[in-house]
Structure 1
Amino acid sequence: MPNPEPSRSSSFATDVLKLVTGTTLAQVITILAAPVITILAAPVITRLYGPEAFGFLAIFTSITSILGVIACMRYELAIMLPKTDEEAANLLGLCLLCVTVVTGLTIPALYFGGDALLSLLRHPGLAPTSS
């Protein structure tokens, strides 16, 4: 009489195959869709925004990406790893504490040292405008 349950190794192989297939399909869709989206959206975006706006976007994105990594100290990636919900909740609390501390240090640094940061970036267009 055959064993009705699949063996552990075949189940593992099936799961790995599902992950690999899903990831591959997602990459193929991204590779095929990116040029189409770029061709359709580029004329509209370039009419709406000038080259300096794309420069501001690049600087802003790089700064916020760096601060985002520093703020959470990459603990957000570890929240899914613990075996118990209590450990995951503690890790979430640690992540939120790190974000709060980094934010608490960043706000005064930007308030009092914002001009120095702008001079380092050599991009005065990022300065807030006074109304």
Structure 2
Amino acid sequence: MNDKVRKSNQLNFRLPREDILLLEKQRATLKMTQVKFISHIINNGINEIIEVSSPKLREDIVTIEKVFSQIGNNVNQIAAALNSGKQPSQDVLDVLSKLDKNMGVLMNRLENLKKEKITTKGDI
């Protein structure tokens, strides 16, 4: 007897034609393989799938991620210095003022992004 554990197993089941067509439409819209699509549904649920199709929206998301990363780094450096009893290398009020300004810019960009078209379950 083979004691080897399989990494994947085959699953066979029957669905009504209408369900198969809907499944295929959803999968094709999201440009996922059938295996990845079904696995994602099992692990995350269908409501967790969001497709970002707008190039501008994708660029804005990358920009926002970079700004949040910079904000996080600044806050971590200040916290590390204060926790170790040292004087932060940056002016805390200046950094916090810049963070506040960046948060305002980010909030405006996020408000604009809400107007972009994203595909969710209800649209598929």
Shorter-chain-normalised TM-score: which range? 0.3 to 0.5
Report the TM-score when normalising by structure 1. 0.33
Which fold has the larger relative contact order, with Cα–Cα distance below 8 Å and residues 6 or more apart in sequence? 2
